[in-house]
Amino acid sequence: MAAASCRPSHGSFCLLLLLVLVAAAADVGAAGSSSHVQLSEESLLPAEGSSCPAPQEQQHGAVTGTRMPVVHQHGPCSPLAGKRGKAPSHTEILAADQRRVEYIHRRVSETTGRVRPKRAAAPVHLQPGAPSKAATPASASSYAKSANLPASSGRALGTGNYVVTIGLGTPSERFTVVFDTGSDTTWVQCQPCVAYCYRQKEPLFSPAKSSTYANISCSSSYCDDLYTSGCDGGHCLYAVQYGDGSLTVGFYAQDTLKLAYDVVKEFRFGCGEKNRGLFGRSAGLMGLGRGKTSLTVQAYAKYGGVFAYCLPATPSGTTGFLDFGPGAPAANARLTPMLTDNGPTFYYVGVTGIKVGGHPLPIPESVFSAAGALVDSGTVITRLPPSAYEPLSSAFAKGMDALGYKKAPAFSILDTCYDLTGYQGSIALPAVSLVFKGGACLDVDASGILYVADVSQACLAFAANEDDADAAIIGNTQQKTYGVLYDLGRKVVGFAPGAC
């Protein structure tokens, strides 16, 4: 049901129209009302044992490039699927998510001046094996206008992140990596693995087999771009440590990167020879943040700082995508300003309010502006200031009570849970919307409202930060089915409904 837009000069008409709409809403009830959304039974309990449909690659022309299918990591089309692959439990997923959130909050504090920054400038301790060869990089050439990659949900990464398959080196080798808007430096595990490497699905990247591989010199300005760097034999070293204790250390290098059918030459990345952590069976990580080492910034001349992705609603039966370039934005994207002055790396936005059941919650806008907010592809559960989460939880609980759902015990960081045992077909839920500066609104898809640990424990997929001063984080559960657009040139973030 469309909302009425009233102007002062049409007061009587609008009053009558609003009364009619309210009466109609009462008659319609939960089913079909704009105040509710319908969650399919498939979204509640995704089907298991599904077969993988034939791969679909569609050429959309020079503007939008080639779109490749996206599948859930543990679905039938997962590039990392295998008998040895075991997904972590929901408890482990949410515990790792909490560690990531704490790390993001620390980084936000350090980079926004709230506390004294702690930049590690000491050399990284790495005992390299045989020096990686330093082949002369190939010269740059003309580029295609855009590229698209497959992305698939990767719960085995410990934080419910998503993965894409890229090509690296000459000849190109395929690697499945996490893509992360909350990180800058891209890296893959490399031979020789002089210290230790976690077990990955694909073979390790071998610099010796690539004719276009080259180490970055310690004297290069590119080495200065790293957050943490060191030097060994004149070659630049990098190190990245993540919030959950995961780490990667190795040579900072450059080589040819392949994105679908597109090529980025002289792409700088970490060639990791000392890697440990919760990366599942992926080969590494693609950094899509706003820092100098990120793919977004490195390929700015090629793609204009534009990329977009869509995360599928369920592990099976749906597809998503990752696009680069000017063809990525959808025509129906709802745009909000990207607040680039708030700090580096992260994609900051301005949240102005929350709606439940179509009604704005009584949350002062100052609650959000004081804490700040960012959109992150790697955080699973959206985090809110306590002063915003409590009204959301209360309003959602009232809506669920009115629909007759039975409450269930809290689960991990989630405290608003319900027992949906016995429900069949579609399930009505109170609609939840996030409102942003500029009027952009993310009407959360039904698949992104609940985090279903079990059919008897389906919880509101939002959680409270420890303090109102901690930044709000829009997690990937709430981003499902939306085309999420990032445009550094225009300084906007967008949300296009129904993109996948």
Do 196 and 236 lie in one domain? The reply is yes
pLDDT of residue 116: 34
Residue 483 near residue 151, CB atoms below 8 Å? no
- Give a yes or no: residue 477 inside a domain: yes
DSSP 126-183: ---SSPPP-PPPPPP----S-EEE-EEEEGGGTT-EEEEEEEETTTTEEEEEEEETT-
pLDDT of residue 142: 23
Q: Is 255 an annotated catalytic residue?
A: no
- Give a yes or no: residue 285 inside a domain: yes
β-partners of residue 263 are: 258
Q: Is 415 an annotated catalytic residue?
A: no
Do 298 and 352 lie in one domain? The reply is no
**Two tokens at 288?**
């899509």
Do 362 and 446 lie in one domain? The reply is yes
- 450-454 β-sheet, strand order: 406-408, 417-419, 457-460, 450-454
Strands (E), 173-259: 173-180, 187-189, 214-215, 229-232, 235-241, 247-259
pLDDT of residue 50: 53
Do 290 and 417 lie in one domain? The reply is no
Best CA proximity match to 190, nearest among 235, 141, 245: 235
Do 335 and 272 lie in one domain? The reply is no
Do 336 and 253 lie in one domain? The reply is no
- Give a yes or no: residue 30 inside a domain: no
Do 344 and 409 lie in one domain? The reply is yes
CATH code: domain of residue 430: 2.40.70.10
Do 486 and 385 lie in one domain? The reply is yes
- Give a yes or no: residue 6 inside a domain: no
How many structural domains are present in the chain? 2
Residue 392 near residue 353, CB atoms below 8 Å? no
- 492-496 β-sheet, strand order: 147-149, 321-324, 306-310, 483-487, 492-496, 334-337
Q: Residues near 301 by Cβ (< 8 Å), separated by ≥ 6?
A: none
Catalytic annotation, pick one of 97, 180, 262, 445? 180
Do 369 and 416 lie in one domain? The reply is yes
Do 355 and 401 lie in one domain? The reply is yes
Do 247 and 389 lie in one domain? The reply is no
**Phi, psi dihedrals of residue 11, rounded to the nearest 5°:** -60, -50
Catalytic annotation, pick one of 184, 225, 262, 376? 376
Best CA proximity match to 336, nearest among 215, 230, 495, 170: 495
- Give a yes or no: residue 138 inside a domain: no
- Give a yes or no: residue 75 inside a domain: no
Look up residue 229 and give its amino acid: S
**Phi, psi dihedrals of residue 297, rounded to the nearest 5°:** -80, -40
Please identify, among 286, 303, 320, the residue that sits at the C-terminal boundary of a domain: 303
List the domain range (segments joined by +) for residue 219. 151-303
pLDDT per residue rounded down to tens, the chain (500 residues): 333 322 333 333 333 333 333 333 333 333 334 789 998 876 666 555 555 554 444 333 333 454 544 555 555 566 766 545 566 788 988 988 898 899 899 989 888 765 433 433 333 344 443 333 333 222 222 222 334 444 544 433 334 478 888 999 999 999 988 889 999 999 999 999 988 999 998 999 999 999 999 999 999 999 999 989 999 999 999 999 876 678 899 999 999 999 988 899 999 999 999 999 878 788 999 999 999 999 999 999 999 999 999 988 876 656 788 899 887 767 889 999 999 998 899 999 999 999 999 999 999 999 999 999 999 998 999 999 999 999 999 999 999 999 999 999 999 999 999 999 988 878 999 999 999 999 999 999 999 999 999 899 999 999 999 999 999 999 999 999 999 999 999 999 999 999 98
C-alpha pair distances (Å), 99 with each of 131, 154, 159, 247, 440: 35, 17, 9, 14, 29
Best CA proximity match to 491, nearest among 343, 327, 347, 294: 347
Do 445 and 395 lie in one domain? The reply is yes
Residue 483 near residue 302, CB atoms below 8 Å? no
- Give a yes or no: residue 78 inside a domain: no
- Give a yes or no: residue 358 inside a domain: yes
